[in-house]
Amino acid sequence: MKMKTEINSFRKDFVYDQYSRIVLNFKKYDKITKTKMLEAIYQVYQDYTNIIDICTTRELKFLKKVLLAEQSDEDDLYFDPFDKKYDWEREILHDKFLIFCGIHPRKIYLPEEIKDKIALAVKNTHWKKQKQNDELNEIIVGYCKMQGSAFLHVICQMAAGITGIKEENIWQHMMMNKLFNYYVIIISRDYETIGQKIPIAIYQDYYNIFDELEIERKKQGLGGNKEIDISVYKTLFYNDFDIHNPKIKKFLTELKKLPFYWSECLFDIKAFAMLNIDRTPLKEAFREVPALQNTDLTNFFKVMDAAMDEMPSGALNGFTPNEAKNIKVREIMQNYKRKQEYIKQQNACIGPKEAKVFYKLYFGLLDFTNQFYRIKPEYKIYHNKEINTYEIEEIIEKFWQEKTTIISEFIEANPFNFNQEELNLTREFEKGFQDVFIIAKYELEYTALLHPKGLFMVKGLNGNIDELIPYQSLPYPTKTAIIPFKNYLVYDGILMGFNVKNSVDFVDMVEKDVEGKEKKYYL
């Protein structure tokens, strides 16, 4: 039988959804008919490797069984394609127009238009390689289902950490693999704090709520990354829900007992869970179903709420509402502890007089760096009272990269006629270094900067650092440089922060790390 004779029985919006997933350069909805969409899909399938690429191992094995059943009447080769255990394969292969189901007789058909291509796909499948692709897709698609949307580089980092596959290979897979692109659409968007044309993966079903998801994520998003068992990604890939969670399993069981077409409400349930918004409209929608007018839904809604509190939400960065509640409690406890332990800093800086000397030396070195490497030859730094640190960021980076050479050349040339004491202080800059630190704790006379090399006790310059970074923001990751100056360690006057929200786990980790580090007052 030909699929072309069956296509008129399908809704156009359904056909278009599949067409736009499978065909790369698809036309607009009102510019193409259902028949033309099917022809375009089957044109893709004319290359049988595309059939392999858009299917999982389970789907290809099901197609193989259908082919064998058609070729033999022997009982030992017979299988029931309508067995419940094949529900997923039947549904997804039907959606991809690789099979269709006959009602009279009850039978699975392979479309005549591409039957020979399906046979070639099954015959030429490299099953080990296919399984490896499955394992990667289960993780990255499952992650997209959990988050709703995610930056591509984040997916690469996450998947590389789990699988050991190189990030660039995962990136290429996401660009080229038809199965991944069947489930996930890749777009680019500009972000003021990150950059332009940042590639984003959006799970196809959530494309129409992507903007709303972005809004809710800004309002509700939690810091940190959720740790999860890989098996849950696999479960989400094949089932949309974590069917092993008893509360979710109970809810799905109760949902299927209701006297209506329950499958039609699944998207709304997933969307409300993804956005983690007030469920009242969802419950009202249930009450308005004609078949449920005389059904008491009170207990059902309790079961539904309990289940949805266990479903990951993209608005919560993949955490469930129950996990979010626990995180909020921990945040409150951490904030209370931080407030109780905070002591307003006093004498935690070297003061304006000494800071003036420090800036004279540092700006002298930076000016010399600029001229030595001809970075911004017309830009004057020494004795410039209106320095914009963002304008000299490249110069600062160059100084710390080449500090030994620069300091040696500077002292020999002494371009600003420093006296011997100033030259000696300048020589000490070579012991300093620039890196990412964490402002971990404020003490009465020092600021503790956490680094893998130790806990450095640093002084501010003109003022105390707690006047710049409030204690409520700690721990505070920052890029800066620490430098020995006279009898103290100071920072270079620049605290370049990162636009990240600390997770409760990160806060706990920093507090634990601080306890185990020896305080360093000198380099």
Residue 45, amino acid? Y
Q: Which residues pair with 203 in a beta bridge?
A: 184
* pLDDT, mean of each 10-residue run, the chain (523 residues): 88 96 95 96 97 98 92 65 92 96 78 96 97 97 96 95 95 97 95 86 97 95 79 94 96 95 93 98 95 94 98 95 95 94 95 96 96 92 84 94 96 96 96 97 97 96 96 95 96 88 89 91 93
Using only the alpha carbons of the chain, give its radius of gyration. Answer: 31
In this structure, is the dihedral angle defined by the CA atoms of residues 199, 200, 203 and 209, taken in order, positive or negative? negative
Quick one: pLDDT at residue 103? 64
Quick one: pLDDT at residue 30? 95
Measure the CA–CA gap between 131 and 391, rounded to whole angstroms.
Answer: 51
Contact criterion met (CB below 8 Å) for 247 and 310 = yes
- This prediction has a pTM of 0.81
Quick one: pLDDT at residue 73? 59
Using DSSP bridges, classify how beta strands 454-458 and 519-520 pair: parallel, antiparallel or unpaired: parallel
Nearest CA among 4, 5, 37, 2 for reference residue 22: 37
Q: Which residues, 6+ apart, have CB-to-CB distance to 523 below 8 Å?
A: 431, 432, 482, 484, 489
Place of tokens 């304008």: 391
- The CB-side HSE value for 443 (13 A sphere, CA atoms) comes to 12
> What are the residue ranges of helices labelled H in 124-265?
127-147, 152-163, 167-176, 178-183, 210-220, 230-239, 246-257
Measure the CA–CA gap between 74 and 461, rounded to whole angstroms.
Answer: 87
Quick one: pLDDT at residue 107? 84
Contact criterion met (CB below 8 Å) for 442 and 343 = yes
Quick one: pLDDT at residue 500? 77
DSSP at 288? T
Contact criterion met (CB below 8 Å) for 426 and 361 = yes
Contact criterion met (CB below 8 Å) for 133 and 49 = no
Question: Tokens representing 200?
Answer: 């984003």
Quick one: pLDDT at residue 105? 66
Measure the CA–CA gap between 79 and 89, rounded to whole angstroms.
Answer: 14
What CATH code would you report for 128-234? 1.10.10
